[in-house]
Chain A
């Protein structure tokens, strides 16, 4: 994905999300799934995608079961495969663009630097917060506190939320200290990478947008 400007990647990613949400027929959704598989194979993301099935699988399975009980098989297939497509597009998108590239793209599009920075830093800390949650769960379960997702355990979740909140506040203060100590907010900030949109990338984005509009019109028809 190197040669493409991050703004192009951002725009193509958003259009891919749009295409998945627009699709209404089971056949179209299946075609999209095949196209996504081809993209995954082309970008060499097969192994990590298979690992991500641990999240995608149970979620779409749950949607399938609920839709099957509430509607019919057709609707269950449609909803669950669409969810797989949506999560797979997210997977490809976030593997194809780093948080810093996304922040830089937003800055180039006129979004204030601070806003883009908050967005990218939040993405960086998602796994860390996940790790903190696991540590707190281990510590509390070791004391006999039942934190399995059951209604009778609802009150016990304070034992997870309170330490998580306190530690997140502490982390945010330390993060602010670290940022301040490395010149965050200083005037005259430069960017290491100089991004330039090539003419053909404009062409690619316009062609993709035209395809998306055509696809939407065809799906409605």
Chain B
């Protein structure tokens, strides 16, 4: 059982701002709690309280008391609490710090001082329970996102804690990875464990929870059943209800980008196989597919980061197969998943202008327009690293657009973003379309893809398996059975609300 009494907390150097405020909350044994909320609402901070990382690892000011399994966390160290409370971090690369999966699972067991025989027994047990026997000898680096999360869960669950906490386990996963983690969590819950899942991307797994807590501004604004929570989440914009997209006809327009039988190989693996597509000027295209289906490899050809092993590629009629990224940057802007890969200036306004200055395409009027569009005026003098995740994404996108490329490519723009940002992203894309920019969006978030694009291309194991309107593709049982696309969440939502 977890009991929090009048808990407030603030991180050091946060200018007096409280990350959590006056929280009174209890979790009974065997509950499955889903903690939702926007970015920066205090969800992760809440989890650090449960295993004593606050106040023992993070300094700062803590008021009130937290009691876990009858132990006051203030009085015990993290190393005393970890056999009771297992924490699975969002970043699996940090969670898995050993050279093999087996050694990673063994690490916590060795900390407990168990014998080699018992450690081996527990490794075999957890591997069988979570069906990861085939992964034991592999290095964590070589695992898929879903597999990494499963191993992270195993590394904690093998300690037999009574409470298991997971920080955004679904954030980077496609529908297949999501389903595997969802099943694993149901298994853990059925074992009688208390499960606490922190998540901002709400999916069909909400149905598994026994209770939901919605955080906002460091406080719970809702504590109740998942069904009621769902209605609150929709009302708060945390589960976005996208408006139906107006169809835009681009059939008469000329081709901007044409690929013919494009193939790419990495070592001995064919990552792209005979990919052919045409993109018309002014079109918004979504390239959808599972993680690892070749989406990012494909778009890296469009701005010269990769060269095809065979096939043809033309931009505005010109062969671009041998062009380098600095040559292509003027015409093609590519925004990658992680905005932190870009930032190296001390102020947002300097960061915005980096590309435009290098490419000699500074246009103050356009920059002003971008600042309004992306709501950056308040942020211009702030360091990019200090911004919230949503703000970082806005700055990164605006900096890609600062030299006004003809084609904008967005690689997984919704990963790690809350519902409000995802909804705002749709409006931004429409505004950019109106300014004549052609857009390609790479995503495995199919609801978002449906709301943002007129046309989908489905990539599966390096091949295009469908090309057409989202309405025509998403109803295709053949593609769903193939695993190329997931089932519409909309259906789940309707069924959930009706139940």
Contacts and interface: CB of A to CB of B under 8 A. Distances in A.
Nearest to A128: B93
Given A123-B99, A128-B141, A189-B110, A163 B342 contact: yes
B98 interface: yes
Interface string B149-162: 00000011001000
B95 A162 contact: no
A141 B385 CA distance: 20
Contacts of A177: 53, 57, 89, 94
Interface in B87-129: 87, 89, 91, 93-95, 97-100, 103, 106-116, 119-120
Interface stretch (A1-9, A18-26, A69-77, A179-187): A179-187
Interface string A108-149: 000000000000110111011001100110111111111000
Nearest to A141: B325
A171 B385 CA distance: 14
Given A128-B93, A183-B82, A190 B344 contact: no
Interface string B361-385: 0000000000000000000000001
Contact of B155 (A123, A136, A182): A182
Interface string B161-191: 0000000000000000000000000000000
Contacts of B95: 178
Given A143-B355, A145-B355, A163 B340 contact: yes
A75 to B, nearest CB: 35
B89 A174 contact: yes
Contacts of B114: 190
A138 B326 contact: no
Contact of B336 (A139, A174, A179): A139
Interface stretch (B233-241, B269-277, B327-335, B479-487): B327-335
A196 interface: no
A191 B110 contact: yes
B97 A121 contact: yes
A126 to B, nearest CB: 10
From A123, A181, A184, name the one whose CB has the most chain B CB atoms within 10 angstroms. A181
A192 B120 contact: yes
Contact of B91 (A124, A161, A174, A182): A174
Interface residues of B, number: 62
From A167, A178, A188, A190, name the one whose CB has the most chain B CB atoms within 10 angstroms. A178
Interface string B31-65: 00000000000000000000101000100000000
A212 B496 CA distance: 73
A192 B106 contact: yes
A100 B103 CA distance: 8
B94 A178 contact: yes
A190 B51 CA distance: 22
A68 interface: no
Given A178-B89, A189-B113, A98 B100 contact: yes
Given A143-B400, A144-B330, A135 B336 contact: yes
A142 B358 CA distance: 12
A144 B326 contact: yes
A159 B89 contact: no
Contacts of A167: 340-341
Secondary structure call for the A interface: helix
B99 A99 contact: yes
Contact of A143 (B97, B116, B155, B399): B399
A220 interface: no
Contacts of B3: none
A145 B357 CA distance: 10
From A161, A162, A163, name the one whose CB has the most chain B CB atoms within 10 angstroms. A163
A152 to B, nearest CB: 12
A120 B338 CA distance: 27
A166 interface: yes
A180 B334 CA distance: 38
Contacts of B267: 51
A175 interface: yes
Contacts of B429: none
A162 B330 CA distance: 24
Nearest to B141: A127
B448 interface: no
A183 B159 CA distance: 11
B341 A163 contact: yes
Nearest to B306: A138
B99 A124 contact: yes
A158 interface: yes
Given A120-B99, A163-B342, A183 B359 contact: no
B230 interface: no
A130 to B, nearest CB: 10
Contacts of B93: 128, 171
A100 B79 contact: no
Given A120-B99, A175-B97, A138 B336 contact: yes
Nearest to A161: B344
Contact of A124 (B97, B156, B340): B97
A192 B111 CA distance: 10
B340 to A, nearest CB: 6
A190 B116 CA distance: 8
B354 A135 contact: no
A183 B84 CA distance: 11
Given A181-B78, A181-B86, A181-B89, 12 more contacts: A138-B336, A139-B341, A144-B330, A144-B358, A174-B91, A180-B79, A181-B82, A182-B111, A182-B159, A183-B111, A191-B116, A192-B106
A-B pairs, top 4 by smallest CB distance, nearest first, are: A183-B111, A144-B329, A174-B94, A162-B344
Interface of A: 51, 98-100, 120-121, 123-125, 127-128, 131-132, 135-136, 138-146, 158-159, 161-163, 166-167, 170-171, 174-186, 188-194
10 contacts: A138-B336, A139-B336, A141-B326, A141-B329, A142-B329, A143-B355, A176-B57, A178-B95, A181-B87, A194-B116
Interface of B: 51, 53, 57, 78-79, 82-83, 86-87, 89, 91, 93-95, 97-100, 103, 106-116, 119-120, 141, 155-156, 159, 267, 300, 303, 305, 325-326, 329-330, 332-334, 336, 338, 340-344, 354-355, 358-359, 385, 399-400, 403
